[in-house]
Amino acid sequence: MDFPELIEARNDVMMGKPCLKGTRIPVYLILEKLAAGETNQDILAAYPQLKAEHVRACLEYAARLAADEIVLAN
């Protein structure tokens, strides 16, 4: 899967987990915060180096993973 433009995975950063480009902030952390009810504004206030585009890139990444997932029905 190709990553959205603002996401990268590097072996030397967070053990290769997908992170927001140029940061050590893993995508899963932003997704967990959104799932817990935090707003974009909450996240951007906590991480001032991020922009709204970063949060959208995390959602795009999650959507791509879900679209590619295959579930075998019983």
Residue 72 CA to residue 26 CA, distance in Å, equals 29
Query: What is the distance between the terminal CA atoms of the chain, rounded to a whole angstrom?
Result: 27
- Summarize pLDDT for 41-65 with one digit per residue, the tens: 999 999 999 999 999 999 999 999 9
- Note the pLDDT of residue 69: 85
pLDDT band at 23 (very low <50, low <70, confident <90, very high): very high
Cβ atoms within 10 Å, residue 21: 15
- Summarize pLDDT for 5-16 with one digit per residue, the tens: 999 999 999 999
Bridge pairing between strands 19-20 and 7-8: antiparallel
